Amino acid sequence: MTVGDLGAARDHAHGGPLGGVRSNYPGPTRPIAPDSHLSWWRRILPVVASHRTVFLAAIILSFASLVFQTLVPSLLNGAIDHALVTNNGTLTHDVEMIVAIAVAAGVTGILSRRYLYSTAYNVEADLRSLIYEHLTSLSFSFYDRVQSGQLISRANSDIRSVTMYSTFAPQIVVQIFIGVIAVGFMLAISVPLTLVALLVMPILYVVGMKMRRVLFPISWITQARLADVATIVDENVNGVRVVKAFAQEESEINRLADAAEGVAWAYITDAHLTAVWSPWIQNLPQLGLGLVLTAGGLMVIGGHLGLGAILAFNAYLLMLQAPFMMLGQLVMMGQRARASAERIFEILDQRTDIVERADATAWPGGPGRLDFSHVTFAYGDGPPVLNDFDLHIEPGTTVALVGRTGSGKSTVARLLPRFYDVDGGAISIDGHDVRDLTLASVRDTVGVVLDEPFLFSTSIRDNIAYGRPDAPLEEIEAAARAAHADEFISRLEHGYETVVGERGYTLSGGQRQRIAIARTLLANPPVLVLDDATSAIDVRIEEQIHDALAHLLANRTTLVIAHRVSTISLADRVVLLDAGRVVADGTHSDLLRTSPLYVQILSQAQGPA
């Protein structure tokens, strides 16, 4: 998927109910450089370059502002020598020139900062969008092994470190270049005095390189430990009910305290190293100033240098010190940015396991026949979950998958819409291998209601219309009635405009499940997968939903992951799984007569839910 495709998808989402008002932010126009062998800043460069007009304006204005500043000591030199020392004129013209130049320097400086901050925050928005777009393209297997807190940290603090350096480092480089101009003015005043002033420069270079090597490891550790804290906070917020249910508040507080202490250690170590090395970079130029004052004073006393010249020289020397005082900050920012960039690249360089083929075509439509042909599958390096799984479902029929925990039922539901790809065999819809179809068309064709319903922190109406943002309220209400959700929604104070809490926890489990069912019914997919979709609903409501579902499922191919007899009764056919393969196939009554394992599973399932 290209950035353009992702941008289009993003724009579509912004126009939907969850997106609210369409954003004025146009989105990233350039991705990072894909070559992982490039240095980190060269990989970020295309993103920064996409804002080159404003960025270059900021750099040019910054350069102009600093150039104006370099003119002031030269004017001061002339004013002192001609107006004060020789008493050959007045200071009026010189003062006017200095004020005019100061105003010009101020105006260009203000504009430069404005454009620079604009670039910085736009680059930050681009990087955050690129990460999010990439995350949406990654397979379920990636999320199986990566902690959400790590992703949150890399999409926030790591990006901020990279963007601040990427945009402000060039300005510091401009300052250093202005230092070169200042050296030119110094040479024009006195070559010997300039050589004295530059004696400390080789030492500054050595110290800067040493500082860079020392700070990088601790910068990486700091960012990693910040991510650990974000992970713990994320887990505790999302798992607060479990924490409180087991009275583990103190344990979790201690766990967070340990992680916070690790962050504090990293920051303190970083501060210690900075305290050791920064004074060298900041104070070595002061040594040069002392040498200049000593040598320059002797030259003035000896009549080899004018008073205005020595004052102007010192002004240029102070101007030269500013870049070196910033050099320490540049090194620190650079190492933090490098560590953060490499953590960001770990995400952006991830390749999805589910790859859409270049010649993939959209599902052309059809009655909805499903074929699982000798499918084998395992999660990662784990043991096989499905082993030679073979199942063929005729269009318009409802098949219930029954089996013990771990038999592979939910895995079948995840493989059909290509949340994962099979390791062997094939899955087909109307004779088309799902790997030959576009992902969008497969997932439009196959609607899934998972056993753990997820709701967004927005209105009930928006949650039901998530798959069809433009659906009219009448159709949304019809889907809710079919899922028997309209009854409790109508009793809420704001009805369909009621905003649910995070993950929908202001609603009961059964209410969340009914909204999830309504969301899928509104999308009206030709193939439907109910992955234990009524497990959180009490028996009375389940029977009401089944009455509606029985009518709605009549003309679509449906795969039902079932435990309860009431759910199995929806099916035309029951398939029994064990150890990842089909061990029995028939009607409910047939399996009751012929399969002791089926009877055993049903008897266990009718216990407390």
What predicted TM-score, i.e. pTM, was given to this entire model?
0.67
399-to-402, 526, 562, 595 alpha-carbon distances in Å? 10, 15, 10, 17
219-to-19, 170, 233, 332, 376 alpha-carbon distances in Å? 36, 21, 22, 9, 44
Over residues 191-200, mean pLDDT: 80
> What letter would DSSP give residue 507?
S
- Average pLDDT across the chain, whole number: 80
> What letter would DSSP give residue 170?
H
Burial class from Cβ neighbours inside 10 Å (0-12, 13-18, 19+) for residue 382 reads exposed
Amino acid at 259: A
Given this model, what pLDDT does residue 336 score?
78
Over residues 210-220, mean pLDDT: 77
* Residue 302 neighbours by CB distance under 10 Å: 8
**Alpha helices, H only, 239-363:** 240-245, 249-301, 307-348
Name every residue whose Cβ is closer than 8 Å to that of residue 234 and which is 6 or more positions away in sequence.
147, 148, 149, 152
347-to-9, 30, 128, 224, 340 alpha-carbon distances in Å? 20, 17, 12, 14, 11
Cβ atoms 66, 112 nearer than 8 A: no
Amino acid at 194: T
Cβ atoms 414, 379 nearer than 8 A: no
Higher local confidence (pLDDT), 440 or 237: 440
Place of tokens 């040493």: 210
Query: Of 103-107, 245-249, 295-299, 565-569, which one has max mean pLDDT?
Result: 103-107
Give the model confidence (pLDDT) of 441-489 as tens digits. Answer: 998 899 888 777 788 888 899 999 988 888 999 999 988 988 888 889 9
What 3-state class would DSSP assign to 183? helix
d(C-alpha 112, C-alpha 64), whole Å: 9
Give the model confidence (pLDDT) of 229-283 as tens digits. Answer: 777 776 666 666 566 666 677 877 788 788 888 888 888 888 888 778 777 776 7
Give the model confidence (pLDDT) of 412-432 as tens digits. Answer: 988 999 989 999 999 999 999
Name every residue whose Cβ is closer than 8 Å to that of residue 183 and which is 6 or more positions away in sequence.
194, 198, 316, 320
* Domains defined for the chain, CATH in brackets: 24-31+39-348 (1.20.1560.10), 370-605 (3.40.50.300)
Given this model, what pLDDT does residue 17 score?
41
Name every residue whose Cβ is closer than 8 Å to that of residue 26 and which is 6 or more positions away in sequence.
none
